[in-house]
Amino acid sequence: MTDKMTDNPLVSVKMITYNHAPYIAQAIEGVLSQKTDFSYELVIGEDCSTDGTREIVLRYAEAHPDIIRVMTSESNVGMRANGRRTTQACRGKYIAWCEGDDYWHRDDKLQLQVAYLEAGDDCTLVHSDCDFYVQSTARRFPSWDTRRGLAPPETPTVAALLKGEYAIRTCTACARLETVRDLLESDSETYGSVRFLMGDTQLWAGLISRGKTRYIPESLATYRVLAESASRSGSHVRQQRFYRSAVELRLHLAKKHGLHESEVTQYRQKLANQDLVLALLTADKQLGEAGYRSLETPTLRHRLLFLASRNVLLNRIARLAWRVKRILKLVLPSASKLRAAINCGKGLALGRNRTGRKTGAIAIDVSGQCAHGQSQRQGPE
C-alpha cells in the first residue's frame, strides 16, 4: 500500500509497551507488514521502559515517520495513564490493538477486519482466532479457539463472555474508535476503577452491548504467554487478590448489563467465597465476616474458612494445609486434573494485570474453575 499515513488514517493501531525489549520489534514488524488499500497509523505508548524498549521503538519511529508515532514522557506514568494518552492520540475511524509482546502473523489482518466494520451493518467489534505461543517452552498452539471448540456463538452475549464460554484476545480485536471512546467516557467506575485488576473484559462487554460483534475463525495474531504474571506470583495473597478482583468485576458487569438475578446471585456468592479465602490468607477478620454473611447457604468448608480467619491457631494450620495442597498439586497432578486443565484451555488466564504483566499461568481458582477472563496487562483504555 502506498501512503500508509495521512492526517486522517482509517485505522489507528494502539500498542502499549513497557519492558518488552525482547518482543517489541516483532510486534512492530507485524503491523508494518499489513497489506491494505487504506491508510493506517501505529501509535505506540512507551512508558519509560528500563530494558531498552524505548530505544528500539524510537529507532522504528525514525525509520517509519509516515506510519509510527510514539507517546512517551520523562517519567513512568503507569499502565492506565499510558493507555489513556495512547487512545487519545489515535486519529482513525477504527482502532486495533497489538500489545508490545504479541504480534500479528497475518499481513491481511487489518484488511479482513476493516471489511466487516465498513459493511455498514452496525458492527462495532471484530475479533479472530489466534495462536498461543508459550515463551518458556517455545511451544506454539495454533488456532487456539478452533481446535478446542471455543469459538463464540453467532450472537455473542455479555453473559456468555462473563462465564468464560468464549474469549476475546486483545491482539485480535478491531473496533470503532468513536464507540470505544464513548464507552470509556461514559462510566469511570467500570472503565477506570483501580478495584478491577482486569481491564479488557469490561470494554468487550460494552462493545457487545452497543452493536454487532463479528468473529473471524482464522488465526490472525499470536498471543504470547509469559511466565511473569499475577497468577504465577509466588505470593498467595497476590494471586488471591487477582482472582477476587476478577469475580468482583464480573459481578459488577452482571449488574451493569442487566443479567438475570440468578446470574448476579451466583457471582455474588463466588465473591463471598473469594473473600473468605483472602481473609484466611490475610487473617482479616472483618473481610471474613463480611464474606461469610454474604453467603446464602454456607457449607462446612465456608465455616472452616471463616473460623480460620478469626483464630490464630486455626489460621496457621489452614495456611500450612493450603501450602501443602498447592505443592501436591504441582508435584502430583492427577490425570483427571490434567485433562480438566486441557479442556478448560489449559487453565490459561488471559490478559494482563494492573502492573502491565501478562497473565498466562496454569491457574485454577479456588472455586475449581479455570481462570478464564482477561486481566489488565496493557489492555484497552
Question: Given this model, what pLDDT does residue 11 score?
Answer: 98
Cα dist from 371 to 47, 128, 164, 194, whole Å:
28, 21, 8, 20
Question: Given this model, what pLDDT does residue 327 score?
Answer: 64
Cα dist from 340 to 139, 175, 176, 337, whole Å:
20, 33, 37, 5
Q: Are residues 277 and 254 in the same domain?
A: yes
Decide which of 178, 193, 225 is a domain's last residue.
225
DSSP for residue 278: H
CA 227 to chain centre: 15
Write out the residue range of the structural domain in which residue 60 sits. Answer: 11-225
Q: Are residues 263 and 292 in the same domain?
A: yes
Is residue 3 in some structural domain?
A: no
Say what angle helices 261-282 and 236-256 make with each other, to 10 degrees. 160
Q: Are residues 236 and 206 in the same domain?
A: no
d(CA 223, CA 133): 6
Cell numbers describing residue 273: 467465597
Amino acid at 95: I
Question: Given this model, what pLDDT does residue 332 score?
Answer: 58
Q: Are residues 204 and 117 in the same domain?
A: yes
Residue with grid cell 490493538, as numbered in its chain: 97
Cell numbers describing residue 19: 519492558
Q: Long-range contacts of range 112-115, CB-CB < 8 Å, 24 or more positions apart?
A: 112/216, 112/218, 112/220, 113/174, 113/216, 113/220, 114/10, 114/11, 114/36, 114/38, 114/174
Residue 35's CATH number: 3.90.550.10
In degrees, rounded to 5, the angle at the alpha carbon of residue 97 between the alpha carbons of residues 79 and 173 is 125
Q: Are residues 296 and 351 in the same domain?
A: yes
Q: Are residues 242 and 218 in the same domain?
A: no
Q: Are residues 101 and 58 in the same domain?
A: yes
Question: Given this model, what pLDDT does residue 360 score?
Answer: 42
Decide which of 199, 225, 251 is a domain's last residue.
225
Residues of the chain with pLDDT under 70: 1-6, 228-234, 326-381
Question: Given this model, what pLDDT does residue 236 score?
Answer: 76
Question: Given this model, what pLDDT does residue 183 score?
Answer: 96
Question: Given this model, what pLDDT does residue 369 score?
Answer: 34
In 3D, which of 169, 148, 166, 167 has the Cα closest to residue 225?
A: 169
In degrees, rounded to 5, the angle at the alpha carbon of residue 273 between the alpha carbons of residues 267 and 276 is 145
Q: Are residues 86 and 182 in the same domain?
A: yes
Is residue 378 in some structural domain?
A: no
- Are 21 and 53 in contact by the 8 Å Cβ rule? The answer is yes
Decide which of 190, 205, 225 is a domain's last residue.
225
- Are 250 and 267 in contact by the 8 Å Cβ rule? The answer is yes
Cα dist from 118 to 11, 40, 114, 123, 176, whole Å:
12, 15, 6, 8, 10
Q: How many domains does the chain have?
A: 2
Exposure string of 189-206, with b = 16+ CB inside 10 Å and e = fewer, is: ebbbeeebbbbbbbbbbb
DSSP sequence for 75-133: S---HHHHHHHHHHH--SSEEEE--TT-EE--TTHHHHHHHHHTT-S-EEEEEEEEEEE
